Amino acid sequence: MKYKFGTALILSSSLLLSQSSFYVNAEEKSNEQTENTSKSISFEQAQKMKPKELTNLLTDEDLKLHNKVAEHQSTELETNRNTNEAYQNVNGYIDQNNIKPSAITQDTRMNSLPKYDYKSDKFIGVVIHETANPNSTIDEEINYMYNNYESAFVHAYAGSSKIVQTASSDYLAWGAGAKANPYFYQIELAQSSTFDQFAKSVNNQAYLTAKMLDQNGLKPSLADHNGGTGTVISHNAISQYYGGTDHTDPINYFSQWGYDMDQFYSLVQKHYNQLNEASDTITGDTHTVASGDTLYNISQRSGVSVDNIKELNDLSSNELTVGQVLKMK
Ligand SMILES: [Zn+2]
């Protein structure tokens, strides 16, 4: 992976100092953050805010410290593939061939990366990247990332046969510029040389996106056509609505395979819905208990209190059995 160094090169001596300071103990770190007024805002609050409001909350120190962008900006380099070639529908191909996501693995080197808290307590969405490097494998990209993490790093990589988490989701990554890094989980898509590999890789990226949204209780929504507000956002839309970076990935690379962010977003929705099939909203007069259901969970999904459900069904304990039919009204 190549990085854009233009903006990353404003490493002032104070930044170098503060970079080395993430090795100090946790107590000192929290003191330092309080003193620098770089306080986080609540996850709930952050989700309701527009890009401008979110970026206005960032201090000069935040902006200086997290001013890192992954991959290089090269729309020209990517045009060697025949963009006019008519490809079949990617999402349709994934369905027809019953392509399943690869297993998610974690690279142990993630523990050696800088650990900075999100400004929003937890990440509020997922940035969709693409490595912009047609000449390297996912493993080469990841090795490059660890060797150069001071310039940039992201949370995960998706390839055609694997999904690798490269940084902890508990801490921010340096891939989308100073204004978005403090708020987002970030996934790079490794480039493929065949349509089949592209379909598999993008399916893996969409699956991990859905998984990560689900992890934080975030519903999928596409930010790209919504003024930058939403939980799924391309690096291109970060450039447009957050600023602090001028990259346009993965738009051009997607379009080379006849793909776009809207189609990617439907794929994320498909995975998200599959992950949540067992936890849909309950609206009927009765509910048949499924595996994983609890009284609490059923109460949350139906809006009927636990006590009410117990009363309606003459339940004396909280135990449920799969297949049991509960009156909900
Ligand atoms: Zn990017």
pLDDT in tens, 1-39: 444 444 433 333 333 333 333 333 343 444 444 334 467
Could you tell me the distance, in angstroms and rounded to a whole number, from the CA of residue 132 to the centre of ligand 1?
8
Q: Within this chain, do residues 257 and 124 fall inside the same structural domain, yes or no? A: yes
Q: What's residue 30's pLDDT?
A: 42
Q: Within this chain, do residues 224 and 308 fall inside the same structural domain, yes or no? A: no
Q: Within this chain, do residues 181 and 301 fall inside the same structural domain, yes or no? A: no
The answer to whether 101 and 207 are in contact (CB under 8 A) is yes
Q: What's residue 294's pLDDT?
A: 77
Could you tell me the distance, in angstroms and rounded to a whole number, from the CA of residue 14 to the centre of ligand 1?
26
List, run by run, the mean pLDDT of 10-residue segments along the chain (329 residues). 42 38 39 52 95 96 94 56 66 96 97 96 97 94 97 98 98 97 98 96 98 97 98 98 96 95 98 83 85 77 89 90 89
- From 325, 199, 323, 221, select the one nearest 272 (Cα to Cα): 221
Q: Within this chain, do residues 160 and 307 fall inside the same structural domain, yes or no? A: no
Q: Within this chain, do residues 240 and 292 fall inside the same structural domain, yes or no? A: no
Q: What's residue 81's pLDDT?
A: 52
Could you tell me the distance, in angstroms and rounded to a whole number, from the CA of residue 294 to the centre of ligand 1?
41
Q: Within this chain, do residues 205 and 318 fall inside the same structural domain, yes or no? A: no
In a domain, 1, yes or no: no
Could you tell me the distance, in angstroms and rounded to a whole number, from the CA of residue 235 to the centre of ligand 1?
5
> Could you give the number of structural domains in the chain?
2
Q: Within this chain, do residues 53 and 113 fall inside the same structural domain, yes or no? A: yes
Q: With helix as H, strand as E and coil as C, how does the chain read?
A: CCCCCCCCCCCCHHHHHHHHHHHCCHHHHHHHHHHCCCCCCCHHHHHCCCHHHHHHCCCHHHHHHCCCECCCCCCCHHHHCCCCCCCCCHHHHHHHCCCCCCCEEECHHHHHCCCCCCCCCCCCEEEECCCCCCCCCHHHHHHHHHHCCCCCECCEEECCCCEEECCCCCCCCECECCCCCCCEEEEEECCCCCHHHHHHHHHHHHHHHHHHHHHCCCCCCECCCCCCCCCEEEHHHHHHHCCCCCCCCCHHHHHHCCCCHHHHHHHHHHHHHHHCHHHCCCCCCEEECCCCCCHHHHHHHHCCCHHHHHHHCCCCCCCCCCCCEEECC
Could you tell me the distance, in angstroms and rounded to a whole number, from the CA of residue 94 to the centre of ligand 1?
24
Domain that holds residue 161: 8-278
CATH number at residue 236: 3.40.80.10
In a domain, 2, yes or no: no
Could you tell me the distance, in angstroms and rounded to a whole number, from the CA of residue 157 to the centre of ligand 1?
12
Could you tell me the distance, in angstroms and rounded to a whole number, from the CA of residue 131 to the centre of ligand 1?
7
Q: What's residue 74's pLDDT?
A: 56
Query: What tokens were used for 310?
Result: 């117990």
Could you tell me the distance, in angstroms and rounded to a whole number, from the CA of residue 77 to the centre of ligand 1?
15
Could you tell me the distance, in angstroms and rounded to a whole number, from the CA of residue 53 to the centre of ligand 1?
22
In a domain, 34, yes or no: yes
Q: Within this chain, do residues 28 and 82 fall inside the same structural domain, yes or no? A: yes
CA dihedral 83, 85, 90, 92 (to 10 degrees): 150
Q: What's residue 182's pLDDT?
A: 98
Could you tell me the distance, in angstroms and rounded to a whole number, from the CA of residue 130 to the centre of ligand 1?
6
Q: Within this chain, do residues 223 and 291 fall inside the same structural domain, yes or no? A: no
In a domain, 40, yes or no: yes
Could you tell me the distance, in angstroms and rounded to a whole number, from the CA of residue 69 to the centre of ligand 1?
7
CATH number at residue 317: 3.10.350.10
In a domain, 161, yes or no: yes
In a domain, 106, yes or no: yes
In a domain, 318, yes or no: yes
What protein residues have CB closer than 5 angstroms to ion ligand 1? 129, 235, 247, 249
Could you tell me the distance, in angstroms and rounded to a whole number, from the CA of residue 248 to the centre of ligand 1?
7
Q: What's residue 23's pLDDT?
A: 38
Q: Within this chain, do residues 168 and 317 fall inside the same structural domain, yes or no? A: no
Q: What's residue 37's pLDDT?
A: 46
Q: Within this chain, do residues 272 and 291 fall inside the same structural domain, yes or no? A: no
pTM of the model: 0.74
Order of strands, sheet of 156-158, starting from the edge strand that comes earlier in the sequence: 104-106, 163-165, 156-158, 184-189, 125-128, 232-234
In a domain, 265, yes or no: yes
Q: pLDDT by residue (tens digit) across 196-208? A: 999 999 999 999 9
Q: Within this chain, do residues 244 and 313 fall inside the same structural domain, yes or no? A: no
